[in-house]
Structure 1
Amino acid sequence: MSLSQVPREIRQKIFDLAICSRVTPPASPSVTQDGRERMSTDAFDGGGIWNLKPKNPALGLLLVTKQFHDEVQHVQNHITTDYYVDIMFVKDFGLWPTWTVPVLPKNQYINSIDATFRIFDPADDLDNRFQHSLDFRGGCGGPETAIWSFYSLLTNVMEMGPGFLERKADFVVKNIKINVLTPTDGAAHYSLAYKDMLPEEISKEEKRRRRRVRGLSRDESTPAEERLTEYITNGLSMVLHIGYHTMRYGMILWESIQESIVISTNGKEHRRFDVEKLVQDYDPRYWGETPEFIVDRRDKYRQWREWLDVRRQAMKEGKELDGNPPVTYIM
Structure 2
Amino acid sequence: MPSITAVTIFIFGLSAFNHGVSNLISPRKALAAKQLQDSALPALNSFSVAIIGIGIYYMLAAYQENRGFFALTLGRFISARIFWVQGPAWRVIATWEAFSAGLTAVALAYEGYYGSPVGSSGAVESLRRPVWSISANPLLGWRYTGVWKQAPKNKALNLFLVSKQFHVEVQDVIRRLPNNYHVDIMFVKNYGLWTTSDFVKRPISRYIDKVTSTFRIFEPTDDLDDRFEDSLSFQGGDGGPGAAVWAFYDLLVSLSRHGPGYPGRQNSQGFIIKVIEVDVVTPTDGAAHTRLACRDNDEPWWLRWSDIEDGSEPVPEKRLANYMTTHLDAVLNASTDAIPYCKELYEHITESITFQLNGQEWKKRRMDDYLEKCNPSTWPQHYRSSRRCYAREIRRWLRWVRNRRFAIIIGAGPTSGRGIARVLAQHDSGNLAVALLARNADNLNNLRDSLRKETNGVLQSFPTDTQPENLRKAFKDIANHADFKDLKLKLAIYHVKHASKKPFLEETPEDFNASMQTYTTGAVVFAQEALKLMYEQNGGQTLLADTNGAKKGTIIFTGTLGAMRTNTGYAAYGATRASARMVAQAIAKEHSKFGVQCVHAIANGRITDEDTEETRTGKHMRAEDVGQTYLWLSQQPSSLWVHELDLRPAQESF
Scaled to the shorter chain, the TM-score interval is 0.5 to 0.7
Cross-structure match for 2:341: 249
Q: Which amino acid aligns with 2:339?
A: M
Higher helix share: 2
Cross-structure match for 1:106: 204
Contact 1:81–1:110 under 8 Å retained in 2: yes
What is the CA-CA distance between 1:122 and the residue it aligns to? 0.7
> Which string of whole-angstrom CA distances, capped at 9 and with x for unpartnered residues, describes residues 149-187 of structure 1?
221011110011113323322111111111111123322
The 1-side partners of 2:241 and 2:293 are apart by: 16
Q: Does 1:117 align with 2:215?
A: yes
Q: Does 1:171 align with 2:271?
A: yes
Contact 2:375–2:394 under 8 Å retained in 1: no
Contact 1:158–1:172 under 8 Å retained in 2: yes
Contact 2:283–2:289 under 8 Å retained in 1: no
What is the CA-CA distance between 1:247 and the residue it aligns to? 2.3
Cross-structure match for 2:254: 156
Contact 2:207–2:272 under 8 Å retained in 1: yes
What is the CA-CA distance between 1:271 and the residue it aligns to? 0.3
Q: Which amino acid aligns with 2:288?
A: A
Q: Does 1:187 align with 2:288?
A: yes
Residues 97 and 276 (structure 1 numbering): CA distance in 2 closer, same or farther, change over 3 Å? same
**Unpaired stretches in structure 1, ≥5 consecutive residues:** 1-66, 195-211, 327-331
Contact 1:115–1:178 under 8 Å retained in 2: yes
Contact 2:375–2:395 under 8 Å retained in 1: no
- Select the residue among 351, 367, 370 that pairs with 1:259: 351
What is the CA-CA distance between 1:75 and the residue it aligns to? 8.0
Cross-structure match for 1:127: 225
Residues 295 and 277 (structure 1 numbering): CA distance in 2 closer, same or farther, change over 3 Å? closer
Contact 1:172–1:256 under 8 Å retained in 2: yes
What is the CA-CA distance between 1:193 and the residue it aligns to? 5.9
Q: Does 1:231 align with 2:323?
A: yes
Q: Which amino acid aligns with 2:388?
A: V
What is the CA-CA distance between 1:249 and the residue it aligns to? 1.3
The 1-side partners of 2:278 and 2:342 are apart by: 18
> Which string of whole-angstrom CA distances, capped at 9 and with x for unpartnered residues, describes residues 258-306 of structure 1?
1111111011211011112332454232699798x82332232233223
| Matched position secondary structure for 1:162 | coil
The 2-side partners of 1:290 and 1:270 are apart by: 34
Q: Which amino acid aligns with 2:183?
A: V
Q: Which amino acid aligns with 2:325?
A: T
Give the alignment of 1:1-331 within 5 angstroms.
Answer: 74=170, 78=174, 79-133=177-231, 134=233, 135-137=235-237, 144-163=242-261, 164=263, 165-185=265-285, 186-192=287-293, 221-280=313-372, 282-284=374-376, 285=379, 294-311=387-404, 313-314=405-406, 322-324=426-428
Contact 1:170–1:323 under 8 Å retained in 2: no
Give percent identity, aligned residues only.
32
Q: Which amino acid aligns with 1:190?
A: R
The 2-side partners of 1:221 and 1:290 are apart by: 40
What is the CA-CA distance between 1:104 and the residue it aligns to? 1.4
Contact 1:113–1:173 under 8 Å retained in 2: yes
What is the CA-CA distance between 1:84 and the residue it aligns to? 0.4
Contact 2:354–2:361 under 8 Å retained in 1: yes
| Matched position secondary structure for 2:403 | helix
Q: Which amino acid aligns with 2:179?
A: T
Q: Which amino acid aligns with 1:161?
A: G
Residues 115 and 282 (structure 1 numbering): CA distance in 2 closer, same or farther, change over 3 Å? same
Cross-structure match for 2:148: none
The 1-side partners of 2:241 and 2:191 are apart by: 18
The 2-side partners of 1:126 and 1:115 are apart by: 24
* Alignment size in residue pairs: 234
The 1-side partners of 2:206 and 2:324 are apart by: 26
What is the CA-CA distance between 1:99 and the residue it aligns to? 4.1
Q: Which amino acid aligns with 2:270?
A: D
The 2-side partners of 1:235 and 1:153 are apart by: 14
Q: Which amino acid aligns with 1:104?
A: R
| Matched position secondary structure for 2:342 | helix
- Which protein shows a greater Rg? 2
The 2-side partners of 1:268 and 1:286 are apart by: 36
Residues 258 and 122 (structure 1 numbering): CA distance in 2 closer, same or farther, change over 3 Å? same
Residues 193 and 322 (structure 1 numbering): CA distance in 2 closer, same or farther, change over 3 Å? farther
The 1-side partners of 2:173 and 2:198 are apart by: 17
The 1-side partners of 2:193 and 2:388 are apart by: 41
Residues 304 and 270 (structure 1 numbering): CA distance in 2 closer, same or farther, change over 3 Å? same
Contact 2:273–2:348 under 8 Å retained in 1: yes
| Matched position secondary structure for 1:125 | coil
The 2-side partners of 1:247 and 1:122 are apart by: 36
| Matched position secondary structure for 2:292 | coil
What is the CA-CA distance between 1:241 and the residue it aligns to? 3.0
The 1-side partners of 2:225 and 2:312 are apart by: 28
- Across the aligned residues of Structure 1 and Structure 2, the Cα RMSD in angstroms comes to 4.0
The 1-side partners of 2:193 and 2:244 are apart by: 10
The 2-side partners of 1:127 and 1:192 are apart by: 21
Residues 325 and 273 (structure 1 numbering): CA distance in 2 closer, same or farther, change over 3 Å? farther
Cross-structure match for 1:8: none
Contact 2:354–2:364 under 8 Å retained in 1: yes
Q: Which amino acid aligns with 1:253?
A: L
The 1-side partners of 2:189 and 2:294 are apart by: 5
TM-score after normalising by structure 2: 0.31
> Which string of whole-angstrom CA distances, capped at 9 and with x for unpartnered residues, describes residues 47-67 of structure 1?
xxxxxxxxxxxxxxxxxxxx9
Contact 2:236–2:293 under 8 Å retained in 1: no
The 2-side partners of 1:273 and 1:244 are apart by: 21
The 2-side partners of 1:323 and 1:143 are apart by: 34
The 1-side partners of 2:211 and 2:220 are apart by: 27
| Matched position secondary structure for 1:179 | strand
Residues 307 and 237 (structure 1 numbering): CA distance in 2 closer, same or farther, change over 3 Å? same
